[in-house]
Amino acid sequence: MAARLTAQDKKELDKFTNFFVFKSLQIIVQSRLGEKLKYKSRVTSSSIDWFNLAITDIPEVQAEAKRTLLGQQPLLSQTVNVEISLRTQEGASMVLETWSLSMNTEQSEPGMKVSSTVYNRMTLALKAIFSVSRMPPAYRLSRRQGGNNPDDFVICYRIYLGMPHTGYLGDDYKTTRVGAVPTPVGTIVINLAFRTNLLMPQNMAMHGMPFDVKDDHFGVSGSQLTEPRPCFTGFKHPTSVEDLRRMEGMDSPDLCAATFSTSPPDTGGFSNMPPSPSSNSKPTEVPSSVKDDFENLYRVGAFIQDEARPVRRERPEDRPFAALMSGLPPCNTQGSGDGNSECSELDKDEDEVDANEEEEQEEIEAKVTELESSDSGSVHEEMARGGSPSTDEFVMVSLKTPFAATDPTADLGQFYRELQQAPELDMCKSVVVTDDFLSDLKDEIDLLASKQPEFNAFIKSLSSDSDHE
C-alpha cells in the first residue's frame, strides 16, 4: 500500500506521474502519424524535455489529453486508455489497438526514491513505449495511410478513461506488457492490446476490405514525411482561427516549464532544479497574420498525410508549433548554449493572452521564486503551472458517437449514406443463370463461330476499301 511520503515527495510523484502520462500519450499518438520520426539529441535539455527525452509535444494531442484527464484525482485513479482505430472513407471503422496506463496500488515499493529512481524508471518506460510502438500491425497500417490511395483509410485515436475496451479488437487479439514503473504508492503498468485479425468485419464495412500489411508495409510513400494531424477532433473541421487559438491555448506552460539538472549520487542521483528565469516558458501566441494561414494548413482528420507539405518535426524551440506552422518562416532562436531558445516573434502577441492566465502565471512564477530561495537541498524543482485548460472546450467527435446504437445499421449517418448510394438495377438482378440459358448461349456461340468466315470476309473487304481510298 501507499507508503508514508513526505509532502515534497508526494508533490514530486504527482508531478512526475502527470508528465509521464502526458508524454506517454504523446509518444503513442505520434507513433501513428504515418511518418518516420526524428528527434535530435541535444547536449542540454530544455525546460520541456521531461525525462530527458527530446520529444516534441503536439498541442492538439496535449489539449485532448488534458480535456480527458481533467478532474481525475488522483491521476491514474482510473485507467487511461488510448484507442487507435482505422477508419475508411465510407465511414467504417475498426479498432486496431488499445494502450492502457493503470496504477496497481497493490504493488508498491515504499523505499523507492522519487526524485531519482522513479524518475529514471519512468524514463525507461517511455523508451519502451517508443520502441514497442513500432511493432504492432497498427504501425504498419499507419505508415500506409494516405499513401497511394490517400482516401482509403485514416488512423484515428481516442483517449478515454476506465476499463480498456478490448472487446473491439476481435477474437484473437494479443496483449503485452510494455513496461512498469514501481513507485511508493503503486506500480504504473503500461499494457498494449492489439488486433491480429486485420480483416474488416463485414458488418462494419461497406465493402470487405482486407488489409495486407505484410508486403512492403512502408509503402511507396513511406519515406515521405508528413505534417502531423491527429484526429482528436474526429472529422471536425476547425474552420475558424478561434478553433486554432483554442488549441494553442491548451499548450500552457504547466507542461513545459521544467528544467532539470542532476546531482552526483551522494545526493541521491538525479535531482531537479527549479527553472531558471530564462527557462520559464511563457504562453506564446502566434501572430494573427500567421494564424490566418492555419486555416489553409489544418485539415480534418486523423493523421492524414499532406504530401504537398512534408514536414520533419524538429525541436520545438527551433520551430514552435511546428505541427501547425509548417511552411512558415522559421523563428529566430537564441540561447542555444544553455539549451533554451524561444521565438521572439511569438511573444509579440502576448497581449492576446487571457488576463486570467497572466495572473495565474505570475502567481506561479512567484511560487517558483519562493521555492528557489527556500529550498536548500539538492532536490529542487518546480513546475510552473498555469493556464488552466481553456474554458472553451473542444467538441470531441469520437469514433463512437455517444448514445449511438452499437448496431451500425441503426446509425443515422450510415443510413443517410446508404440512401445516397445508387440503387441496384433490376435488370442486373433478373439475370438468372440456368441450364437453358447456358445452352442457348452455347448455340449462339456456335452460330457465330460458323459465320466466322463470313465476318472475316466482311472485315477484309472493309480494309481493302480503305486501302483503295
Provide the minimum distance between the beta carbon of 174 and another protein in the complex, in angstroms, as a whole number.
10
Tell me how far apart the alpha carbons of residues 294 and 305 are, in angstroms, rounded to a whole number: 16
87, 151 contact by CB (below 8 A): no
Tell me how far apart the alpha carbons of residues 254 and 320 are, in angstroms, rounded to a whole number: 16
The residue from 72, 77, 104, 176 that contacts another protein (CB under 8 A) is 176
The residue from 6, 171, 203, 214 that contacts another protein (CB under 8 A) is 214
Which of 275, 389 has the CB closer to another protein?
Answer: 275
Q: Does 261 bind another protein (CB under 8 A)?
A: yes
Tell me how far apart the alpha carbons of residues 366 and 372 are, in angstroms, rounded to a whole number: 10
Stretch that binds another protein, among 59-67, 132-140, 155-163, 318-326 (CB under 8 A): 132-140
Which of 162, 264 has the CB closer to another protein?
Answer: 264
Q: Could you give the count of Cα atoms lying within 13 Å of 231 in the half-sphere of its Cβ?
A: 27
Q: Does 130 bind another protein (CB under 8 A)?
A: yes
Which amino acid does the sequence have at 228? P
The residue from 106, 171, 172, 215 that contacts another protein (CB under 8 A) is 215
Stretch that binds another protein, among 146-154, 267-275, 408-416, 422-430 (CB under 8 A): 267-275
Q: Does 376 bind another protein (CB under 8 A)?
A: no
Tell me how far apart the alpha carbons of residues 32 and 146 are, in angstroms, rounded to a whole number: 12
DSSP string, 178-241: EEEEEETTEEEEEEEEE-S--BPPTTT-SS--B---STTTT-TTTT--------TTTT----SH
User: Contact letters (x/-) for another protein, 143-162, by CB under 8 A?
Assistant: x-------------------
Q: Does 223 bind another protein (CB under 8 A)?
A: yes
Tell me how far apart the alpha carbons of residues 260 and 382 are, in angstroms, rounded to a whole number: 10
The residue from 74, 110, 264, 377 that contacts another protein (CB under 8 A) is 264
Stretch that binds another protein, among 137-145, 278-286, 349-357, 438-446 (CB under 8 A): 137-145
Nine cell digits for residue 456 = 472475316
Tell me how far apart the alpha carbons of residues 279 and 285 are, in angstroms, rounded to a whole number: 17
SS3 call for 405 = coil
Nine cell digits for residue 72 = 481525475
Stretch that binds another protein, among 16-24, 30-38, 91-99, 453-461 (CB under 8 A): 30-38
Q: Residues interacting with another protein, by CB under 8 A?
A: 36-46, 49, 52-55, 121, 124-125, 127-128, 130-132, 134-136, 139-140, 143, 176-182, 214-218, 222-223, 260-267, 269-270, 339
